[in-house]
């Protein structure tokens, strides 16, 4: 499987429209370093043609191809209206070409 979605996250996503995007997001350090981490958002990507689309368990997943089969898991944390998604696992660093 491309990625695991916990039951708690799946239930939350279904209430939010049943769509999730997992992509790499750059993070910059204070001394010039940078890294890309996997993030999950409860929405369709702006350019879905650049993502792998997978349908399972009532959720449509758009995942950046470099993140497929990386052993990642989507979960949700928080309470009431303050919940947000997060991705667990190791994010690969995309090669800069």
The whole model's pTM is what? Answer: 0.83
Query: For domain 4-88, is the CATH number 2.60.300.12?
Result: yes
Domain ranges of the chain: 4-88
If phi > 0 it is left, if psi is from -120 to 50 it is alpha, else beta; for residue 46 that is alpha
Residue found under tokens 């090669």:
95
Check if the beta carbon of residue 76 is closer than 8 Å to that of residue 83: yes
Question: Tell me: the pLDDT tens digits for 45-75?
Answer: 999 999 999 998 899 999 999 999 899 999 9
Confidence of residue 96 (pLDDT cuts 50, 70, 90): very low
Structural contact between residues 94 and 24, judged by C-beta atoms closer than 8 angstroms: yes
Give residue-wise pLDDT tens across range 9-29: 999 999 999 999 999 998 877
Residue 42 backbone dihedrals phi, psi, to 5 degrees = -85, 70
Identify which of 15, 7, 23, 91 has the alpha carbon closest to the alpha carbon of residue 61.
23
Quote the CA–CA distance of 96 and 56 in Å, as a whole number: 32
């Amino acid at each position: 499987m491309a990625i695991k979605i916990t039951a708690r996250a799946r239930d939350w996503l279904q209430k939010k429209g049943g769509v999730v995007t997992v992509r790499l997001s750059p993070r910059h350090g204070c001394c010039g370093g940078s890294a890309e981490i996997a993030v999950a958002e409860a929405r369709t990507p702006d350019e879905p043609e650049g993502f792998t689309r997978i349908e399972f368990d009532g959720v449509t997943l758009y995942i950046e191809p470099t993140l497929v089969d990386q052993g990642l898991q989507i979960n949700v944390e928080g309470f009431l209206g303050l919940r947000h998604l997060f991705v667990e696992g190791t994010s690969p660093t995309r090669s800069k070409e």
